[in-house]
Every structure is written in structure tokens, then in C-alpha cells.
Amino acid sequence: MKVSFFFFSFFLISCVSQKKIQQSDNHHRIAIGLLKKCDKKRALSHLIKAVEYDPNKFILRHSLAVNYYSLNKYKKALVEFKKSLDLEPKLTDSLVGLAKTYLKLNELDKASNYLKKAEQDLTYPRSLEIIATKALLEYEKGNYLMAQKGFEDVLSLPSGQTCRNYLRLGQSQMYLKFFDKAERNLKKAVINCKKLEKNSCAILDYEEYFALAQLNLKKKNQKKARYYLNLFLKKSNTNTDEAMIEKAQKFLKQMS
């Protein structure tokens, strides 16, 4: 009798567990479909449900972290990237995700530490994500020569030719006073950002226009600087850095 009860209990637990896994998979599939439609907020709610039903699946934790990151919820992204690593310590994508998130939070030492851990994966170090994140780290540290080299390496690869990489390369060159190179790359950033805006669900912050305004201020070309500042302010949205908007308004006031 005791044996029968044991097997019945085991069977019941297995059925409940299997049902939770199925519910988790359903929510995950719905989230993927919503992400394809650019509905990140609704996708987030389904990813949270998927994790609730199957909390020990590392790929769900990682997907939830990526979604939080894309919605600028960086502290929540950190929590989920770390949980995915608790479940799968060798998940290099989550190590890189943590590095990128700490960069967003301006915690450069922590970003550097996670990048070093990611590079221990011998299949990963020369990947686009590693090179781009390392270049961004050098940029944030003010090491513009090293940042320039890193972004040039990234942009030598077709998949690395993104508006953000052109933007950071142009900004690095601007601070190095390579003004002609900076202008070429910042204009490439504008072109690639327009393509991104047209063909994806990315929400842009239009920093490329602010960077072109800064460049023209350094070149003493107030007419062009005013043009790009007005364009930046016209296009700015809730995703645009408020401090950058205030700087643009201040620059315009000084020029009036």
C-alpha cells in the first residue's frame, strides 16, 4: 500500500511539473512572437510568466535579462543575467550581457571583470560582441586611441557596421581631433541609424545628431552646429538622455 502511494505521489508530482513546463514553453513562444512584432512590453510579461513556471531554465533567465536590458531596466537585467549564470556558469552570452549592463550603469571595473571572464571562452574572444564591448569600455574610460582601434576592427566586419559603432568611432576621433574622419563616420552613423529605424523596432535616442553638433562647435561652424542641435531636439524622445537634451538647449541659448 505504501509503495502504491509513493508511486501515485511521484506520478502526480511529475504531471504537475510537466504541466508547468508546458505553460512556461507556451509563454515563451508567445513572448518570441510579440518580440517579432516589436511589442517588448507585452513580451516582458510573458517572459516573466515563463520564468515563474520554469525558474531553473537558464535560457529563460537570459532571455528575460536581454528584454529588461532592451527596455533600459538595467538593474533588473543584472539580476536575471546573474541568475542565468548561477544555472549555467559557462554561459558567455550572459557574461557579455553583464559587462554591457555595467557599462550602462557606469560601473567600469565590474564591466571589465565580466569581459575578462567572457574571454576565457576560447570560442568567444574574437567575436563581434567582445570586440565591440571592449571598444566601448575603452571609450568610456577616455582611452580614445584604443577605442578607435577597437571600433575600426568591429566595423571591418559586415555585421559590425551599425549606427552605434559608427557613432562611437566618430566620437572617439572627434576627441582625438581627427575632425574629417570623425565627420565621415558620424554621417555614416546617421545613415545606418535611419536604416535601423526603418527596418527594426529599435527606439533610437538620436545621439548621432548631437555628436555632429558637438563636432561643428569644435570646428567653429555655428551654422551647422545650430542645424544639428535643432534636429536633435526635434527628434528627441523618452529614450533620449535628459542631460544631453539640456546641453543641446544650453548650446543653442549661448549661440542666440
CATH superfamily of 41-118: Tetratricopeptide repeat domain (1.25.40.10)
CATH classification code of 203-256: 1.20.58
Q: From the options 1.25.40.10, 1.10.10.10, 1.10.3720.10, 3.40.50.980, give the CATH code of 126-202.
A: 1.25.40.10
Distance CA 168, CA 159 (A): 16
C-alpha cell at 58: 537558464
Annotate 17-68 with three-state secondary structure. Answer: HHHHHHHHHHHHHHHHHHHHCCCHHHHHHHHHHHHHHCCCCHHHHHHHHHHH
Share of the chain above pLDDT 70, in %: 92
Q: Are 58 and 80 in contact (CB under 8 A)?
A: no
Mean pLDDT of 122-132: 77
pLDDT by residue (tens digit) across 69-112?
999 899 999 999 999 999 998 889 999 999 999 999 999 999 99
Which has the higher per-residue pLDDT, 43 or 197?
43
Average pLDDT of the segment spanning 44-58: 92
Q: C-alpha angle with apex 223: 221 to 227, nearest 5 degrees?
A: 120
